[in-house]
Copies of this chain bind each other. A is one copy, B any other.
Amino acid sequence: MAKNKPVAIAIHGGAGTILKANMTPELEKAYHAELEEALKAGHKVLKKGGSSVEAVQAAIVIMEDSPLFNAGKGAVFTHQKTNELDASIMEGKTLNAGAISNVSHIKNPIKLAALVMTESRHVMLSGEGAEQFAQSQSVEMVKPEYFYTDRRWQQLQKVLKEDPDASKLSEDKDDKYASTSHQQPSQVSTASDKVWPDDKKFGTVGAVALDQDGNLAAGTSTGGLTNKKFGRVGDSPIIGAGTYADNESCAISATGHGEYFIRAAVAHDVCARVKYKGIKLQAASDEVILDKLVKMEGQGGVVGMTPQGEAVFSFNSKGMYRGYVDAEGKIYTAIYEE
């Protein structure tokens, strides 16, 4: 049964250089539609009395299943032409958390992160080990080719062309594509030279929510960096960097140049400023994103939520796919700076 306490949800679909010049009206519409669908899915869970952890998952699953965002289905390719996905989730009431890094066969990484939180004794599982754990859980596994999209494949080709070092490396023995191709040559040759409006975007999706019990949650999911090497781990699966939730301060999901977000411990730092300095969430987010990170030259942003259900956005890049549902249930979505 639904209770009468306020509920709230806010999401992001990545921040970075999103250029209107390269955006078609059709694509813009598609982004707004996906953001709206994700918000509706999360909000529906909350209105029914579901938990913020469930709502965060419901919203993120929509974005993971869309090829438009760099998470789940739309994940970018690594240097080895594989897809390695990361995700994390955290519950503000208990500080319980779950995270996975570098998985390649999980359709919805955010669901596996949630299962790590509730069904394992651990917080963070990585690589093949995380997939072994997944096999004991009710989570959908997919073949690597599920993550093939022409757009991401072309992004990798472009980066490899622009980076001579990378091209050289792509021919070496570590080129897994040669032996485990999940991509037909004919598919490659049909690829267009389309320029996407957000090729320089840090692709990540995330959500923060407040449920009827007054509990906050935050979650983040990503396909990482195009052409990433060496089992690089960004901020998305790092509790304290990409994701943090504490009922005593706020819930945060971050998106940006992960290395800077780890070094600045972005998600936890925003919460710590709210908790210890006693400032508002918008001010705390702006201090970290618009001042601290700008000085470090780290690009990106956060979506945050207060224990009262106020959604906050802060980003130092040209745009951030984002949206929230207000107290009356009205849905707002946006892409560029305002």
Residues of A near any B CB (own CB < 8 A) = 90, 95-97, 101-102, 120-130, 132-133, 174, 229-234, 238-241, 244, 258-259, 262-265, 268-269, 272-273, 276-277, 296
Contacts and interface: CB of A to CB of B under 8 A. Distances in A.
A144 to B, nearest CB: 17
A124 B101 CA distance: 11
B262 A123 contact: yes
Nearest to A78: B129
B126 A231 contact: yes
Contacts of A262: 97, 123-124, 239-240
B233 A124 contact: yes
Contacts of A265: 239-240, 244, 265, 268
A232 B276 contact: no
B102 A126 contact: yes
A172 to B, nearest CB: 10
A132 B239 contact: no
18 contacts: A97-B263, A102-B127, A122-B232, A124-B233, A124-B262, A125-B231, A125-B233, A126-B126, A126-B231, A126-B233, A127-B127, A129-B230, A129-B232, A132-B229, A240-B240, A268-B268, A268-B272, A272-B272
Nearest to A296: B95
B276 A231 contact: no
B231 A174 contact: no
A7 B174 CA distance: 44
- Most B CB contacts (10 A, CB to CB) among A95, A97, A265 go to A265
B130 A231 contact: yes
A133 B240 contact: no
A158 to B, nearest CB: 18
Contacts of A127: 102, 126-127, 231
Task: Please give me the 9 A-B residue pairs with the lowest Cβ-Cβ distance, nearest first.
Answer: A129-B231, A272-B272, A276-B276, A129-B230, A240-B265, A126-B231, A240-B240, A124-B233, A133-B230
A230 B103 CA distance: 12
